[in-house]
């Protein structure tokens, strides 16, 4: 697993904590937790993650890349961003 992936996961985690988990300090989010299923984000939250990835990492996401496989967990997001870099 690359340093970039770890960095992406950490920054996305921080983004999620600031924007979606700020009132849930006891919420434990693991790298493999499914973000939608656990109620961390909804579909609009996914769009906010896309905006964040573009602003932070310059990642442009194609329509057919907006999937659980690429954006469903912190691990998936780390791998997805790394694959685009």
Partner 1 sequence: MTYNHTSTAPSLVIDPATAVDRIIESLRSNLLNEFRRKGYVVGMSSGVDSSVTAALAVRAVGPSHVFGVFMPERESDPDSLRIARELAAQLGIESTTEDIADTLEGAGCYQRRNDAIRRVVPEFRDDWGCKLVLPSDRLSADRLNVTYLVVREPGGEDRRVRLPAAEYRQIVAASNFKQRVRKMMEYYHADRLHFAVLGTPNRLEYDQGFFVKGGDGLADIKPIAHLYKSQVYQIADYLGVPSSVTSRPPTTDTFSLPQSQEEFYYNLPTRILDVVLHGLNTGRSAADVALEAGLTPEQVERSFRDIEQKRMTTRYLHLGPRLVEPVDLCTMIQVDL
Residues that bind partner 1 (CB under 8 A): 36-37, 39, 42-44, 46-48, 50-51, 63-64, 66-69, 71-72
Query: Residue 27: which residues within 8 A CB-CB, separation 6 or more?
Result: 21, 40
Residue 47 Cβ vs partner 1, minimum distance, rounded to whole Å? 5
Report the SS3 class of residue 2.
coil
Residue 6 Cβ vs partner 1, minimum distance, rounded to whole Å? 24
Residue 51 Cβ vs partner 1, minimum distance, rounded to whole Å? 6
Task: Pick the closer one to partner 1 by CB: 6 or 37.
Answer: 37
What DSSP designation does 63 have?
G
| Residue 12 and residue 74 in contact, taking contact as beta carbons nearer than 8 Å | yes
């Amino acid at each position: 697993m690359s340093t970039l992936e770890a960095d992406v996961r950490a920054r996305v985690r921080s983004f999620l904590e600031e924007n979606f988990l700020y009132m849930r300090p006891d919420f434990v989010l693991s790298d493999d937790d499914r973000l939608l299923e656990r109620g961390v984000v909804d579909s609009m939250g996914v769009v906010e993650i896309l905006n964040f990835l573009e602003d932070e990492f310059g990642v442009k996401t194609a329509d057919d890349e907006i999937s659980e496989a690429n954006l469903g967990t912190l691990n998936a997001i780390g791998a997805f961003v790394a694959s685009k870099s």
